[in-house]
């Protein structure tokens, strides 16, 4: 099954994608991370400002990733498509075949609280938030050092949230019309939000989803 994680920045898309990936042995594809890992300086500048990276770069990067061997039997995608223009290309060029869209809902105040606490492992990309109070001084997965993303500050967050409302949220309508959206309450701690998501999957009538989850 191919999943798409949808929701505002800091909603927990990457965190829930990582838990789902581990439990169901699926690769994750994060558009933001793919772009952060390019050597293109211009891309990093767009990201640091919280602005959308130009579409042609995004399309080249995602198409290349989706052509790789390890994602041919399912994946969890996060961060693409993210604008109406990208959605048009996504549909016209059949870039990905999405089965399920997880719409993670978290109130703005909670999102803002999470921004300054996010830590990302410099080695493996594992995401931690100091608000979980687990006291991790380093990555619990690989022992790597924590990094703080250049766009994880309140000022840039406001910009990213505005871009989300104006450019990304409108495309949810397309997936709703396709009957693929599952709304998940995401303001709890990760394991609880994950359980909300699994319960919603089991209750849904999206073809094959319940069977996939129940194995």
Residues at the contact surface with ligand AMP, assessed by CB under 6 A: 9, 31-32, 35, 46-47, 50-53, 58, 79-80, 82, 86, 151, 160
The Cβ of residue 18 has, within 10 Å, a number of other Cβ atoms equal to 22
Closer residue to ligand AMP, CB minimum distance, 17 or 209: 17
| Separation of alpha carbons 91 and 117, rounded Å | 36
Catalytic residue among 65, 89, 160, 180: 160
Q: How is the beta sheet containing 127-129 ordered, strand by strand?
A: 127-129, 118-121, 146-147
C-alpha–C-alpha distance, residues 122 and 142, integer Å: 10
Cβ of residue 97: shortest distance to ligand AMP, in angstroms? Answer: 17
156 three-class SS: helix
φ/ψ (deg, to 5) at 76: -120, 115
Residue nearest to ligand AMP (CB): 32
Query: Smaller CB distance to ligand AMP: residue 6 or 201?
Result: 6
To the nearest whole angstrom, how small is the minimum distance from the Cβ of residue 185 to ligand AMP? Answer: 20
Catalytic residue status for 114: no
Residue for token pair 């990555």? 139
Q: Is 49 a catalytic residue?
A: no
From the candidates 89, 118, 119, 180, give the one annotated as an active-site residue: 118
Name the residues annotated as catalytic.
13, 82, 118, 149, 160
């Amino acid at each position: 099954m191919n999943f798409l994680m949808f929701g505002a920045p800091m909603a927990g898309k990457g965190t829930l994608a990582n838990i789902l990936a581990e439990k169901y042995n699926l690769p994750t594809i994060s558009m933001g991370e793919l772009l952060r890992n390019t050597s293109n300086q211009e891309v990093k500048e767009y990201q640091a400002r919280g602005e959308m990276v130009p579409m042609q770069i995004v399309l080249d990067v995602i198409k290349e990733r989706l052509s790789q061997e390890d994602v041919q039997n399912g994946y969890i995608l996060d961060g693409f498509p993210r604008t109406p223009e990208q959605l048009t290309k996504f549909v016209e060029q059949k870039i990905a075949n999405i089965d399920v869209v997880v719409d993670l809902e978290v109130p703005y105040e909670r999102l803002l609280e999470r921004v300054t606490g996010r830590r990302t492992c410099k080695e493996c990309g594992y995401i931690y938030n100091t608000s979980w109070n687990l006291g991790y001084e380093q990555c619990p997965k690989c022992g790597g050092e924590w990094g703080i993303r250049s766009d994880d500050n309140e000022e840039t967050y406001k910009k990213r949230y505005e871009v989300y409302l104006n450019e990304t949220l409108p495309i949810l309508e397309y997936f709703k019309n396709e009957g693929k959206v599952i709304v998940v309450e995401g303001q709890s701690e990760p394991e609880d939000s994950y359980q909300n998501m699994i319960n919603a999957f089991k209750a849904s009538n999206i073809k094959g989803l319940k069977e996939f989850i129940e194995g």
